[in-house]
Structures are given as structure tokens and as C-alpha cells.
Structure 1
């Protein structure tokens, strides 16, 4: 594996109560993945030239503008952008989905499952909310029924991989049904993109959103990529400099920019965009099959976990467990074993309640372990051993 995908801080240590120093086992990638060297190197190389984008004629501004637009081209390649597609830089997946929600044509019907992360559950105006399905066939049929009576523009908004169970949703099948009924498809790829290649055509997606901080570039950048027509026709997401092509003397006398600039008002996050693109480029050059096989070998060593699809769907490196007092277990894992996991509802309250039972929210939700680049068999072995010692083995 290229050293560009080496984890910064992979040798971070923590001290246990007995005084022993151990390598910290970070197993909370689904919340925020650690940075890789490609991101850090990109920032280091950019900072001497850092300046305002699209604003000046000097060396710093010209170089910064070049790097920002080159980052957009790299991300477009990473997602398999097609002719007529656009790439808009946002703050994160939540920001990207809110942008698209604001850009929907009047009267658009949005269909979404209640098993989504809140980022893809809450932005849509008056959505048709479907119960999280028990299996992929049920999901496909539910979308078919929901869209069969829709007239006018429609959008199916669906996750690529669950941030709770790690299960990969049958996105292509859902997209094919949606397109048969004239609907467009948005894929929340926040948890999918770090683990497997994402391609708009392969997924059957019209739009794709993901976050840099899940993709080993923690500098506050995200992406909305996909068809440009709705975005070009919409009111600017952020009104201000950059989004405006010209401003007259009278209130409302404004000509808005076209293309990505229309929704990137203000000074953009140049550092975030460039670092995110550097990771995308490194992943494009990497052997993604080998990376996925390694992640799957780690998954094979961790049995059990809650499942929406009965364990029949493939997973990315995310597993959640129903354990007594998950917050206390997570604290013990951190303090006594040097292992970082996540306890709670994971911004997916309806799904966690469904998987853990009606009282799950009252008892603290679930316990989640997640991993990716740089994770080792030793990390998962330590987790297994610690859970057995705590009497909550999966």
C-alpha cells in the first residue's frame, strides 16, 4: 500500500491504569476517520501559496485558484462524474444534502427510509418516510409502491452503507426502480466511499454526497456531485460574494453565478477541498480490492452485531452491538484497554430503536466499532478480548 495512505498518528499510545503504555486502538472511523499522509502532505505543500480563491491576480491567489479547481476535477474523477454533472464543495454530507434539499424543484416528492442517518432523514421537506425494510426485496418493493402514485418530480434519498450496521444497501436495484418511475436518486455515500469505490453510473445515482472527515481528510470539506440542472435552476444556497456574478444598485438587482460557484458563496474551504482531493487521488491509485479484502478479514474476526437485513447483506467495517449500558462499556474499553469505540444512537434514532428495542434510547443506544485504513487484526483481537473480559462479548 502506498505510504500516502499511511495513517497519521498510527503509533499513538495511551497509558492504562496499570501504568502500561499501549498503542491506542482507534475503532471509531465511522464518526471521523484519522488523516492519511496524502491529506497532510497536500496541506503542507499548499500553505506557502495559500490565498483567496477566484479573487486576485497575484501568485498566491492564482495558485490557490488552480489548486481548488484541480481538486474539483479530481473529486469528479473519484465519483465518476458524467458530462453535465457538477461537483460542489460543501462543509460535510449534512451540508451537501441540505443544499440539494433547497434546490429541489417546487412540488418534488422525496422518498426516504427511516433507517437513514439524520443527515439524510431531516433535510427533506415533507418526505414520504418508509419503514426500514427487513430485506433488500422489501426495500425495492416499498420504493416501487411509494413512487407508483407520484406525479411530478421525485427524489429517492438512500444511504450507500448504514452507519449503524455497516450493511451495504441495494442501491443499484433501488435506483433502477426509481428511474423506472421517473424519479431521481441521491446516495448518501458518507460511509460507503471510504470503503469501496463509488461511481455515479455504477450506483445508478443522479447525486452523490460524502464527507472529507470520513474519508481520511479531516479539514471540514464535503461534496455534492451529480446532475447540474436542478442546482443551476435553484436559488443560491449561500447568498454573497462568489455566488453573485453582478450586483446592481437596487435591492434584488442581482445576477447569480452559474455552475458550482452559485452554491459556494463566500471564501471556500481551500485547504479542505485540496486535502480531500489528495485522498481521493491516492485512493484512485490504490488497490481498492486489496484494501477491502483486508477490512473484510477484520470483520470476519468480529462475530455478531445487530443487522437490518438479517446478516445477508455485505458490510463495510462497521458493527454495532446491543449491550447493557453501552456508554459504560465504551468508557471501560477506553480507560482499561486503550480502545476507542462509540456508544449512543449515532444520529440514527429511528433505526437504533428498531434494532435495539423500544427502550434502546433510554438505555444509551448501542455500542459501535468501526475501522478502515491502518486498522489491524491486533485492534480487533484486543476488542474481542476486552469484551469477553467485560462479560459483554458479541
Structure 2
């Protein structure tokens, strides 16, 4: 009979030596808090032959790797072994590391008694898992401004129109719940297009009054500020490690266990079952293991936990202050560039995280992004940002004709004033070469 290593005693294991990362020995620079990241000294060759420090302004898509995450993985790898599958010292050590990672993430997202943390591949996977366990009779209310991960997976969807104000968003949820009764409200904490913070706590209060549940897509917010199931009073929360400075392919669905324990496993296989009879009958496991069949992503879980613990220990104040200073600098700089139009939904004064989407009149956004990379060593994102309805709406609302896609610059740990200033200067140079004269910059709402 096999040993249940979830309850077996854990033998001590001496920590293996840590590989010396050339970037990891540099202390975090002033103003960036304790979250130092790798890649800050990466040089790239631009079109004219110069070598420039790379400006990674695509952090909203995938954040650079935090030093603490890389070091945690390096310490783990020499003892890497199976999780929940063996009685050997290495397997027990890795089982303990995996479950300690789960506990660290639970603390980070403010889990309450009865909540559980299920490790997934990313936020998209986590939302698809939740869509799998939502009872078939339960409608899901979601705004058309959501990322596709929170727009497409649901089986019985009620699409709410794009609100013009936060108050209008809360009112739309209230009205929809009056019509549809108990439902699941799926809402982002922060738009991945505009960076605007959504009124999640207010939406949750309305949902509670109607007996509805709430899931929060915290993929963007979790990397920029505190997010808590308990503080927001929501039922579920999802996030991605690769946006939280732990790019090792792990995500999280955290929240109430009842729907997850009642549904058939998301994946069928080893670990999801407690007993399989010779006649094919199955007793499925309860708890997180029910939806984590197969060998789990131990490396991703440990990396994410390392970042969660580092941020929990130091707090968000320094990093948030640093990002807001840079965002104000970026906003002020782009506002001086003729032909640049910023994309916002709730208006330029609404609180935002370090994301700025814009379009340049007369220029294709892919061309703008290419020239930023090829000529200035700046990495940004162009397109519709996996939020097509929202981005198209904002572009179509412009007072002048704009290209059908936009450019997005995003900030985070590791971003510098020099990078922001270089972006503004580069955009100004590119915009000046557009085929027509344009008015001064305006925000699109």
C-alpha cells in the first residue's frame, strides 16, 4: 500500500547551494521597493547599430522574473521530484514545498476559512475551471469590457453594456440581478487596456444583497497592489504568476469550495481520484487535488509563492508610489504629443494602475510598435489586447479617425524614469512623421 505523503512526516533536507545570478546580487533600486527583477541590464541593438538598454514596457502582458522567484526555483531544482506521489525524501520535500506555496498564496489573496487555492496554468485556465464548476442553471453576468478570459468561457452569459462611470457599472449589475436572480458576477479588478480600477467592492455589496456570487479577475491588480477575498467580500479570485513576476506557468483560482467539490474534476487523472474500482467506478477527491490531476507545476507554484511572501513581508507602498510617479510622468509626456490619443473608459481622473493605451492618428499601431522596438529599444504591445469589444469601442469614440488597433505601454517593478522619457520622446518623433497634421493629444472616453 502506498504512503499518503500529504500526512506523512517530512524528513529534513539540507538546502542545496544557490546558483549565483549575475543580476540577482544587485539591491533593488531606490523607489522600487524590495521587488528587484532580472533583465534590467539587458542590451539590444537597434536599427542604426547602437546598443541600448532594453526598455521593457510590456509588463501587463508578462512581467519580468523577480529575483526572489528565480532564487527560489534555483534552490528547489536540485531536489526536484514528484509531488504527492512518493515516500522518498525528495518527494516529501517537494510535497511540502508545494503545499507551503499553496498556503503562501492563500495568505496573499486573503483566503477565509472554507476557501481553497487551486493551482492552474494562468488566469484564463482558472476562469475556465470556474466556468466548468458553475451550476448549469446559474447565469453569469459580465461586462463587454472584460478580457476575453472573463468574457468567453461562460456557458450561460448575460453581457452587460460598457458603463460610462463606475456608478453606472454598479447600477447595471443591480438591474441585471433584479431581472436574473441569483447569479455569478464576473468582473475585472483592473482593465488590462486602460489600467482603470473597477468598483469591485461596490459591485460585491450589490451582489450580496441579491444573493449572487462574485468572481474577480485580479490578473492585473495582483501585480500592482493588495487584493483580498476577505476585504473585497467576493467569492472567487483568479491571478496569473507570469503577471506577478513569477513567469513559470502557474495561475490560481482561490475561493469557495462548494461548487468545486460538487463538480466533476476539471481534468480526470491521477490525483483527482481517491479510489478507482475494477468496474470503472470512481470516487473523486475533495479539495484542491480534485482539479489538479497529473503532476503539478511545482516550479511555478514555488516561484509565485516566493513573490507573494516577499510582497506580503514588505508591503506595497514603495512599489505603488514608484509606479504612480512614473504613470503621472508618462501621462504628462504623452499629453504633449500632437496626434496621440489616450484610451480611457471612466475618464482621465479615474484611478489607474501603470497601463497607458494610446493610438497615433494616421499611423498603424503595429508600425508604431515596430519602430519603438527597432529604432529605440522599447518593447510595447499593439493590437486589441484580448479585449476586442472594449478597445474597438474606445477607438471608435475618438473625435478623429484612428487606426483599428492601439499601442499599450505598461509599467511595473524595474521600470525607470529614463525608459518613460525615452518612450515619450520616441512617440513624439514617430508621430511627427505621420502623413497629416493633427490636433493636440486628447483622452478618449
TM-score range, shorter chain: over 0.9
Partner in structure 2 of residue 48 of structure 1:
78
Kindly indicate whether residue 97 of structure 2 is the aligned counterpart of residue 97 of structure 1. Answer: no
Partner in structure 2 of residue 288 of structure 1:
316
Partner in structure 2 of residue 279 of structure 1:
307
Question: d(CA) in 2 for partners of 1:115 and 1:355?
Answer: 10
> Aligned runs of 1:267-346 on 2, under 5 Å?
267-303=295-331, 304=335, 305-323=342-360, 324-346=363-385
1:99: how far off? 0.4
Partner in structure 2 of residue 371 of structure 1:
411
| Aligned counterpart for 1:211 among listed residues 215, 234, 240 | 240
Partner in structure 2 of residue 79 of structure 1:
109
Question: d(CA) in 2 for partners of 1:126 and 1:384?
Answer: 44
Kindly indicate whether residue 98 of structure 2 is the aligned counterpart of residue 61 of structure 1. Answer: no
Aligned partners of 2:343 and 2:356 also within 8 Å: yes
> Aligned runs of 1:128-277 on 2, under 5 Å?
128-151=158-181, 153-251=182-280, 253-277=281-305
**Per-residue CA shift, 1:350-381, capped at 9, x if unaligned?**
00111001899x94411100010010111100
Question: d(CA) in 1 for partners of 2:273 and 2:403?
Answer: 50
Aligned partners of 1:327 and 1:364 also within 8 Å: no
CA 76–101 in structure 1, closer or farther in 2 if over 3 Å, else same: same
1:382: how far off? 0.4
Indicate the SS of the match to 1:161: coil
Indicate the SS of the match to 1:225: strand
Q: TM-score, with normalisation over the residues of structure 1?
A: 0.96
**Residue ranges of structure 2 left out of the alignment (5+ in a row):** 1-25, 29-33, 336-341, 433-439
Question: d(CA) in 2 for partners of 1:297 and 1:263?
Answer: 41
Aligned partners of 2:327 and 2:411 also within 8 Å: no
CA 387–127 in structure 1, closer or farther in 2 if over 3 Å, else same: same
**Per-residue CA shift, 1:42-94, capped at 9, x if unaligned?**
11010111111000000110001000000000000000100000000000000
| Aligned counterpart for 1:13 among listed residues 43, 47, 51 | 43
1:311: how far off? 2.0
Indicate the SS of the match to 1:11: coil
Indicate the SS of the match to 2:117: strand
Aligned partners of 1:2 and 1:286 also within 8 Å: no
Indicate the SS of the match to 1:148: helix
> Aligned runs of 1:350-365 on 2, under 5 Å?
350-357=389-396, 363-365=403-405
Structure number with larger C-alpha Rg: 2
Indicate the SS of the match to 2:330: coil
Indicate the SS of the match to 1:5: coil
**Residue ranges of structure 1 left out of the alignment (5+ in a row):** none
Kindly indicate whether residue 139 of structure 2 is the aligned counterpart of residue 109 of structure 1. Answer: yes
Partner in structure 2 of residue 348 of structure 1:
387
1:168: how far off? 0.5
Question: d(CA) in 1 for partners of 2:358 and 2:47?
Answer: 26
Q: TM-score, with normalisation over the residues of structure 2?
A: 0.85
Question: d(CA) in 1 for partners of 2:232 and 2:114?
Answer: 17
Question: d(CA) in 1 for partners of 2:318 and 2:78?
Answer: 36
Question: d(CA) in 2 for partners of 1:220 and 1:386?
Answer: 33
Aligned partners of 2:142 and 2:159 also within 8 Å: yes
Aligned length: 392
CA RMSD of aligned residues (A): 1.8
Question: d(CA) in 2 for partners of 1:34 and 1:269?
Answer: 19
